[in-house]
Structure 1
Amino acid sequence: MPSLTRLENEQLTIEISSLGAELQSLATKDGRCFLWNGDAAFWNGRSPILFPIVGKAPDDTVLIDGKPYPMAQHGLARRREFALTAASAQSCCFTLTSNDETKSVYPFDFSLSLTYQLAQNTLSVTARVTNTSDDAMPYGIGFHPAFLWPFPGAEGKAHHIMLDNGAEPELLRLSGGLLDQATQPSPFRAGHLTLDASQYVEDAMIFPQGAGTGLTYEAEGGPSLHFTFENLPNLALWQKPGAPFICIEPWHGMAAQHGKGSELKDRPYTALLPAGKMADYGFSVTVKNQK
């Protein structure tokens, strides 16, 4: 059975499951939880880790050097038990190490570590990928946290996303779970987007580049969450139709494109890590206007 690890300081409390090293809650000391609760009536995820693919593969199959491997949407990590490899009062680390089971669907030796750390009103999450194979290793990696929409106590208020860089990044859409090749005009205006459920009727809004390294998700006149991203050039926003959450998803890698085949290395923004090397990817979220 998965185990839960709890971290807390004077401002925040979080819980992480060993299954998928997935964040289960993010709450302030006044009892307000900002993370989605995983209600299976809508979506049983809360904050899955996406590895070694982000999104879907054609027929749930990836090719690696021409050889097919079964690969479910968003990869294998979210469905695997991680080991708790380090823990202190305000930080912990979970690690998934390749084994015969993982190599049957992803033929590389690797380790994937997730470190969670609290500092005042900020949670930082870092994923470290280490290639312990003898060959270069292709992969995508991403974060998929879901936050309440509306925020606690902000029912009926407009909710906004504002990009730190004030940009208007081009939009990509999915059809059948795969990326369309044609871009669409940005829904952002000078970096500002007012959330509306109609934006997600056609699945996620994906911004392959230009969204920058930070954004704010806020309720008008209410609380806000400020995010910073490290080594994560892609951004997606997603809501399950009718569900009271919004996913703010920074990625390095995206779904396969229509007409581009199933080869993992050909997916947009796939990383290629040399043998014996490691790479870090992360995000932080700061809870503001807590009172």
Structure 2
Amino acid sequence: MINLENDYLKVTIALDGAEIRSVFDKSRRIERMWHADAKYWGRTSPVLFPIVGQVKGGSYTFDEKDYNLSQHGFLRDQKFELESSSENQVSFIYESLDKMKDVYPFEHRVTITYTLVEKTVSVTWKVENCDTQEMYYSIGAHPAFNLNGDHYEFEFETRGDVREFSLKQGLVANSEIIAVKPVEVNVENLQNDAIIYDNIDAVSLINRDNGEVTRLACPGFDYVGLWMPVTDGILAPFVCIEPWMGITDSFDEYGDFRNKLSIKKLAPEQQESYEYTVSYL
């Protein structure tokens, strides 16, 4: 485990998946991240790559060859190498090196950098195409934040018209433009899979009992998902705010990876970077 620490927060990150496992809030003396109890959900903050969500039927086609790929891809289960570290910043790197060609036909490198400044953790992904052909991919985050009270609400900062996407069997069925308003964290609002929006620049999870705020800013990201398990009408003690560059397949998707909904592409030897921040207030 690698630690970043200042006067406000102590952040713990694992080499496995380059995943944040803990954010301890020193001023409130509480843990802000979910502790991966498999009773509800056995992860804390996995990185989703090379897909977000599913490919329909668990498989896709590229250059007339079929590939099987599990939900959210494989990067969250890979061991990263430590590239560099300091008191307030750490970078991890993963190189495919021919390891994943049976499920994903592109050589690639992903670097994940975490930077701690006061009460904010910034997360930067750098995706590199190490192949000789154009590379197709999606990338996203799935951080889970503890609920330390009974009355929480989401508030949103938006850009332009916002669409809400409805799912069928975990796949995009349709979407509609909505009037954005705060969403209360309750069974009624979160029992039907993830809530997904586009054109969201930031989401604040606000504890109405004590004013505690977790603000995730992701300007320019394609989508944001809100998710928590609901079992027998009972909410899990955490909620996920998920910024995505990509989305699960359309229910009508026919499997060609080049035509996947919201897929990204990189030319050979090119790279792209994305950044979001989480502030614990």
Q: Give me the TM-score of the superposition, normalised by structure 2.
A: 0.93
1:79-228 equivalences in 2 (<5 Å): 79-149=77-147, 151=148, 155-156=149-150, 158-165=151-158, 169-180=162-173, 182-184=174-176, 186=178, 188-189=180-181, 192-207=182-197, 209-211=198-200, 213-220=201-208, 221-228=210-217
Q: Which runs of 5+ in 2 are unaligned?
A: none
> Between Structure 1 and Structure 2, which shows a larger proportion of strand residues?
2
CA distance in 1, matches of 2:69, 2:104: 8
Q: Does 1:233 align with 2:222?
A: yes
Length, aligned pairs only: 275
1:50-69 equivalences in 2 (<5 Å): 50-69=48-67
Q: Does 1:246 align with 2:225?
A: no
CA distance in 1, matches of 2:199, 2:220: 13
Contact 2:199 2:220 in 1 (8 A): no
Contact 1:173 1:202 in 2 (8 A): no
CA distance in 1, matches of 2:220, 2:161: 20
CA distance in 2, matches of 1:167, 1:244: 32
Amino acid paired to 1:29: K
Contact 1:187 1:193 in 2 (8 A): no
CA distance in 2, matches of 1:282, 1:112: 13
Q: 1:199 and 1:40, CA in 2 relative to 1: closer, same or farther beyond 3 A? A: same
Q: 1:108 and 1:18, CA in 2 relative to 1: closer, same or farther beyond 3 A? A: same
The RMSD of aligned alpha carbons is: 1.7
SS at match of 1:101: coil
User: What is the CA-CA distance between 1:166 and the residue it aligns to?
Assistant: 7.9
Amino acid paired to 2:264: A
The Cα offsets for residues 7-36 of structure 1, whole Å up to 9 and x where unpaired, read as: 111111111111111110111114311111
CA distance in 2, matches of 1:66, 1:12: 49
User: What is the CA-CA distance between 1:187 and the residue it aligns to?
Assistant: 7.4
Amino acid paired to 1:233: D
1:33-48 equivalences in 2 (<5 Å): 33-48=31-46
SS at match of 1:164: strand
CA distance in 1, matches of 2:273, 2:85: 19
1:241-280 equivalences in 2 (<5 Å): 241=230, 242-280=235-273
Task: Please say which of residues 230-239 and 104-113 is displaced more in the overlay.
Answer: 230-239
Q: Does 1:12 align with 2:9?
A: yes
Q: Give me the TM-score of the superposition, normalised by structure 1.
A: 0.90
CA distance in 2, matches of 1:136, 1:273: 6
Q: 1:233 and 1:264, CA in 2 relative to 1: closer, same or farther beyond 3 A? A: same
Contact 1:197 1:239 in 2 (8 A): no
CA distance in 1, matches of 2:106, 2:161: 38
Q: 1:126 and 1:269, CA in 2 relative to 1: closer, same or farther beyond 3 A? A: same
Amino acid paired to 2:262: Y
Q: Taking every aligned residue pair, what percent have the same amino acid on both sides?
A: 28
SS at match of 1:115: strand
Task: Please say which of residues 29-38 and 10-19 is displaced more in the overlay.
Answer: 29-38
